[in-house]
């Protein structure tokens, strides 16, 4: 990541999430100790529902507004179904649009205040959008952000892509002393050489008390441990909530140009949380 101000650094305070909950836990049985030992499914949203319907409001809330989001981004986030809706085929679709007046709209959905995860394998099956200036992400923030702020809350970026790197995704952690441009990051290049926007891929982290490992389609590509943050705090031993969004522009991807086609869509087949095997 280049030397920029991280776009998550000033997130507004939200309602404190329940520490013991996991994503969609109200619809799933809590695991037993035996099932947890096998890497059992703890919680999921499969995004089933009629085409054009809103995502499950018991799980997902919205960040709203413009203002650049700390990084010069161009979009306004809305709760309109033009920007976030189910497609009727088991997917959530987040749509970035260029409006008639030349402005941009998109959506940023989060489980803050509804449900959280602490440890486990957190994954989503996603087909990302494409194009210069397009910035999709699947990530997590510490549920205590409202009381401690960022970066003390911690941030785990499971997947980010900037449009000028169609075959590369990035995974990063941020915390006190290693945030923004100093975040601990790694890149993964699609071994087939194809753009990630060409198909669905499973992006995930295996999150344990002492280590976080990133993977794409089951292939691990980086592990960060307590030792990697040195004398800085390891802030990943607490509940986090999930965020899904598509940004437009910003210091990292740069603005859209004449080659960028709108609308652009991030299609999410599912989000799942498994116990650590």
CA distance 42 to 69: 32
Q: Are 119 and 19 in contact (CB under 8 A)?
A: no
- The half-sphere exposure of 31 on its side-chain side, counting CA atoms within 13 A, is 21
CA distance 163 to 262: 13
Burial of 102 (0-12, 13-18, 19+ CB in 10 A): exposed
**Is cis: bond before 151, omega within 30 of 0?**
yes
Element (H, E) at 150: none
Residue 160 among the catalytic residues? yes
CA distance 48 to 132: 31
Residue 165 among the catalytic residues? no
Cα torsion 128, 18, 38, 205 to 10°: value is 30
Residues serving a catalytic function are: 155, 160
């Amino acid at each position: 990541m280049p030397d920029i101000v991280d776009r998550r650094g000033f997130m507004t305070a939200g309602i404190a999430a329940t520490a013991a909950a996991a994503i969609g836990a109200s619809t799933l049985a809590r695991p037993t100790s035996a099932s947890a030992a096998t890497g059992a499914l703890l919680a999921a949203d499969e995004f089933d529902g009629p085409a054009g319907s809103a995502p499950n409001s018991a799980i997902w809330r919205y960040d709203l507004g413009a203002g650049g989001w700390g990084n010069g981004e161009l979009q306004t986030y809305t709760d309109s179904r033009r920007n976030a809706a189910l497609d009727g085929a088991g997917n959530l679709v987040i749509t970035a649009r260029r409006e008639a007046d030349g402005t941009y709209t998109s959506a940023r959905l989060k489980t803050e205040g509804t449900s959280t995860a602490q440890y486990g394998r957190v994954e989503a099956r996603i087909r990302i959008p494409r194009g210069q200036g397009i910035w999709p992400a699947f990530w997590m923030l510490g549920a205590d952000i409202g009381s401690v702020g960022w970066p003390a809350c911690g941030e785990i970026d499971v997947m980010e892509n900037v449009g000028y790197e169609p075959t590369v995704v990035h995974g990063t952690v941020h915390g006190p002393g290693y945030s923004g441009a100093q975040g601990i990051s790694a890149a993964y290049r699609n071994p087939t050489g194809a753009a990630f926007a060409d198909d669905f891929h499973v992006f995930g982290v295996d999150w344990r008390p002492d280590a976080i490992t990133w993977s794409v389609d089951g292939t691990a590509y980086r592990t960060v441990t307590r030792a990697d943050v040195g004398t800085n705090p390891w802030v990943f031993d607490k509940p986090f909530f999930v965020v899904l969004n598509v940004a437009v522009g910003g210091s990292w991807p740069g603005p859209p140009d004449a080659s960028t086609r709108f609308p652009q869509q991030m299609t999410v087949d599912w989000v799942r949380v498994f116990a650590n095997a």
